[in-house]
Structure 1
């Protein structure tokens, strides 16, 4: 190798190190929603035992039901700027990091940050709870991992959010309980559906997903449609 080539190689390595910055150690194993009421633990572990399924059904049974309301007036901005650190009543609020980065750091393994930043995630590994796929993600292909609102913002709007104060809408949109980093394609297939219209392709996670949906709805006093409640109960039998 010539001196010129060696210098070029070293310069490239410096650029890579500078871009990646520091790394975070792997997080704990994915948590069951039954032990993660605040949403600060990573991922979504299956609910398997009969006792835990009974607890999940008890929660789902407590949800109010009503028909899906109109979509009148809905825009994403009704919940504030996308991923802005402006909520005040939820974990990670006003910590100086965008909500999306908070969630990538919560659920990712081998998380790396941009040099000079304690917030901006540029690469990680994610075991997608919806498909079971291991994703080696890099910010150059940002949409490969998207952060899903378990209870979609549009769904919340149609079930009562227009009557909320802006502070509650900000919390709902940025609450880690309502947010999961997942495969982008799966998130796009889900769109604004409730559980009667869409469930994760990975069947073993469906009761956990239904439970997380119910936790969010219960926390924000949102009703669900009769069909969604029926679908959630069926997944936890």
Structure 2
């Protein structure tokens, strides 16, 4: 089951002081010495970032897509699989197959990752033009705490709208399972929103970050300190 953000952040906050003390991890002020942390609002992504534990990546041993359930389940039981739910949410001018809301036939994606407009058409050779990205990749999640989640929690994670974004297919492929230290959207205008979403997802599910990931997100968020934490 999905945990409340408050409980997740409380657990993270309880452990982060110990983690930072043991690892000597950079705080926000050490990443950006001129940054005034006292001016950051309590409900921003930047504040939430400082509450997430920082430690090394766990081994990938045992990871498979099946550890997060079948792809695109209908976990909210609305009759539509998750992929079509996200397409319905993120596309405009949506048309459906035989007027069935659960099967998106076509639409327009203003792709936040590239800043381009993509005409989506359902079909064997065209559906992959728009893919559904796990903002926090499943493999990354597995190596930063998801191994300790129950199978039910991992299924929720893989289908959580908070962690999903319709995106340009080739760009999503280029991302792979990278975190913010290795990949950010080419569209710089979307980077604050993107890393805020990664922060929210990690807080929601009690996952940690590596030092490199934390610092990469911090560098982005210090350019937009009022960026809200998405819900």
Give the TM interval when normalised to the shorter protein.
Answer: 0.7 to 0.9
- Deviation per residue, 1:78-108 (Å, 9 max, x gap): 11111021x3xxxxx1111010000000011
Q: C-alpha distance in 1, partners of 2:40/2:88?
A: 31
Asked whether 1:147 is paired with 2:132, we answer yes
Match of 1:166 in 2: 151
| Structure 2 CA distance for aligned equivalents of residues 219 and 235 of structure 1 | 20
Task: Report the TM-score, using the length of structure 2 for normalisation.
Answer: 0.76
Q: SS where residue 111 of structure 1 aligns?
A: strand
Match of 1:83 in 2: 72
Q: Which structure 2 residue ranges, 5 or more long, are not aligned?
A: 1-38, 223-231
RMSD (Å) for aligned C-alpha atoms: 1.7
Runs of 4+ in structure 1 over 2 Å off: none
Do structure 1's residue 156 and structure 2's residue 156 form an aligned pair?
A: no
Q: Which runs of 5+ in 1 are unaligned?
A: 1-49, 88-92
Note if 1:220 corresponds to 2:205.
Answer: yes
Structure 1 residues 51, 108: closer, same or farther in 2, change over 3 A?
Answer: farther
In structure 2, the residue matched to 1:5 is: none
Q: TM-score, normalised to structure 1's length?
A: 0.74
Counterpart of 1:57 (choices 46, 53, 65) is 46
> 2:217 matched to which residue of 1?
232
Partner of 1:32: none
Choose which of 56, 77, 98 in structure 2 pairs with 1:115: 98
Q: How much does 1:51 deviate?
A: 6.9
In 2 relative to 1, CA 163–152 (structure 1 residues): closer, same or farther, beyond 3 Å?
A: same
Larger radius of gyration: 1
Partner of 2:110: 127
